[in-house]
Structure 1
Amino acid sequence: MERGDIFLSAKEVKRVFVMEQVLSGKLTVRQAAQLLGLSERQVKRLKGGMQKEGVAFLAHKNRGRKPGHAVPKSVCDKADYLLERRV
C-alpha cells in the first residue's frame, strides 16, 4: 500500500498538536476536550484512532470526494446551454 502525503487544515494541525500532548501524557483527556471544544468521549475516540492509524486518522475522511448532494455536471451543462440560448 502506498503512503501519500497528508495535508491538514489549521484546525486539524491544532488537533494533532493537542492529541500528541495527550498521548505523551502532558495533557489529560479533559484538558484536551476543553482546548479543542470537544467532549471527552470524542477526545478518547481521537486518541484511540491516533494510536491505531497515526496522524492520518485526524484528516477529514471525505476530503477529495464530491459531495453526495452535488448537482451532476450534465445538469449544470444543460442549464448553461439553456441560459446561453435565452440571451
Structure 2
Amino acid sequence: MSHKEIDRLEMIQAVANKHLRQAEAAQRLGLSVRQVKRLVRRYRAHGATGLRSGHGGRRPNNAIAKAVRQEV
C-alpha cells in the first residue's frame, strides 16, 4: 500500500471505530462526506484491502507499447 492509502486507512478506521466524525475525516482527506461513508462501508465489508485502488498493477491505457519503446 502507498503512504496515501495507509493514511486513508487510518482515517477510515478511526471513523469506523467512532473516534472521528465523518465530516472531520472528509475534510482531512479532501473528500466529501458521502465518499467517506462509501469508504467506511467498503472497509467494514472487505477490510483494509477494500480501500486499495482497483487499478494497482495494471498497465495504463495510454501506455506506449513495448515494441514502440524499444524502437525509439
**Structure 1-normalised TM-score?**
0.77
Alignment partner for residue 27 of structure 1, among 17, 20, 24?
20
Alignment partner for residue 16 of structure 1, among 9, 25, 50?
9
Alignment partner for residue 57 of structure 2, among 57, 61, 64?
64
> Is residue 36 from structure 1 mapped to residue 29 from structure 2 by the alignment?
yes
Q: CA deviation at 1:78?
A: 2.2
CA root-mean-square deviation: 1.0
SS across alignment from 2:63: coil
* Alpha-carbon distance in structure 2 between the residues aligned to 1:42 and 1:9: 19
Letter of the 1:64 counterpart: G
Q: How many residues align?
A: 72
Q: CA deviation at 1:65?
A: 1.0
Q: Which runs of 4+ in 1 moved over 4 A?
A: none
**Structure 2-normalised TM-score?**
0.91
Letter of the 1:75 counterpart: V
Q: Which has the larger radius of gyration?
A: 1
> Which structure 1 residue ranges, 5 or more long, are not aligned?
1-7, 80-87
